[in-house]
Amino acid sequence: MTQTTPDAPVRRQRAQVKVRTLRTDRWWLVPLLTFLGLSSFLVYGIWAIIDNSYFVDPYIAPFASPCLATSCPEGARLFGWAPFGDWYALPPGLLILGLPGGFRLTCYYYRKSYYRSFWLSPPACAVQEPHGKYTGERRFPLIIQNIHRYFFYAAIVIGLILAYDAVLALVHKPTGLGTWILVVNAVLINAYTLSCHSCRHITAGRLNHFSRHPLRYRAWTFVSKLNAKHQPLAWASMFSVMGADLYVRLVAKGIIAFPYA
Ligand code: FES
């Protein structure tokens, strides 16, 4: 232990433990599963960007929505709109996935999960990390994580568009399995977005008197309940968006073709 005089500054040192950890449980299981889950999302997302079977009337794959590219087929375009002109013929996912992707990448929960599972920083509580020093998120490049709130505003718009896609499917094909998959996905995506810590702060983060702002207080109470489920919502919405996207593509490719698809 470091000896200090009463006036000397305390030098904070790491505990001098010779082994990596004294834990005897399976602490590595959660980071490993997280690594596999996030990696599968990443690999799927890359494939989805280059895959062209993202629309089969009235379903549009969530990874390609809103479809704003010139290459979008008629019926897939958001409000029939193609704002990027003829010069933009790349896949539509390339144009929009940076927004929901950035939202998840800078999410407080995902940060914890990939810092642990990808960077092992640290991999789990009371397990030594391989890095020699820790500068946190106070400096470049991790200070950029602070733009999360702006991604939140974009995610609200994307969530509304996915809900709009689900309503369109509901109107045109109410008995379709794909319709209900899109509906469940829209609910989970919007629940995850509203459960965001930034959203909770926006509703009433700086208020000193809840009693003077009853509406904001009610919004904050609602968001706080969702916020307590942020981690499960992060996973559920991630798998639902991947599942819904894959389902639409399989129908579009003709791989799933039963009467109520
Ligand atoms: Fe996770 Fe905002 S904190 S989405």
pLDDT for residue 48 is more than 70: yes
pLDDT for residue 214 is more than 80: yes
pLDDT of res. 11: 62
ipTM above 0.85, yes or no: yes
pLDDT of res. 2: 45
Contact between residue 162 and residue 185 where contact means Cβ atoms under 8 Å apart: yes
Does the CB atom of residue 244 touch ligand 1 within 6 A?
no
Using a 10 angstrom Cβ sphere, with 0-12 exposed, 13-18 middle and 19 or more buried, the burial of residue 95 is buried
pLDDT of res. 208: 92
Distance from the alpha carbon of residue 117 to the mean position of ligand 1, in angstroms: 18
pLDDT for residue 5 is more than 60: no
R_g (Cα) of the chain, nearest Å: 23
Contact between residue 201 and residue 146 where contact means Cβ atoms under 8 Å apart: no
Which residues make beta-bridge pairs with 56?
59
Q: Which one of 188, 194, 195, 201 would you pick to mutate in the ligand 1 pocket, going by the greatest count of ligand atoms within 8 A of its CB?
A: 195
Residue type for position 46: I
Contact between residue 162 and residue 62 where contact means Cβ atoms under 8 Å apart: yes
Distance from the alpha carbon of residue 175 to the mean position of ligand 1, in angstroms: 33
Q: Which one of 151, 190, 198 would you pick to mutate in the ligand 1 pocket, going by the greatest count of ligand atoms within 8 A of its CB?
A: 198
pLDDT of res. 76: 87
Does the CB atom of residue 198 touch ligand 1 within 6 A?
yes
| Bridge pairing between strands 59-60 and 55-56 | antiparallel
How many residues make up the chain in this entry?
261
Which residues make beta-bridge pairs with 67?
77
Confidence band (pLDDT; 50, 70, 90) for 10?
Answer: low
Distance from the alpha carbon of residue 101 to the mean position of ligand 1, in angstroms: 12
pLDDT of res. 153: 97
Torsions phi, psi of 160, nearest 5? Answer: -65, -40
Confidence band (pLDDT; 50, 70, 90) for 174?
Answer: very high
d(CA 166, CA 235): 20
Higher pLDDT, 238 or 85: 238
d(CA 237, CA 30): 19
Distance from the alpha carbon of residue 190 to the mean position of ligand 1, in angstroms: 12
Q: pLDDT tens digits for 98-129? A: 999 999 999 999 999 999 999 999 899 999 88
Percent of the chain at pLDDT exceeding 70: 92
Least confident of 69-73, 151-155, 162-166, 191-195: 69-73
Helices (H), ranges, 22-79: 29-50
Contact between residue 110 and residue 155 where contact means Cβ atoms under 8 Å apart: no
pLDDT of res. 95: 83
Distance from the alpha carbon of residue 197 to the mean position of ligand 1, in angstroms: 5
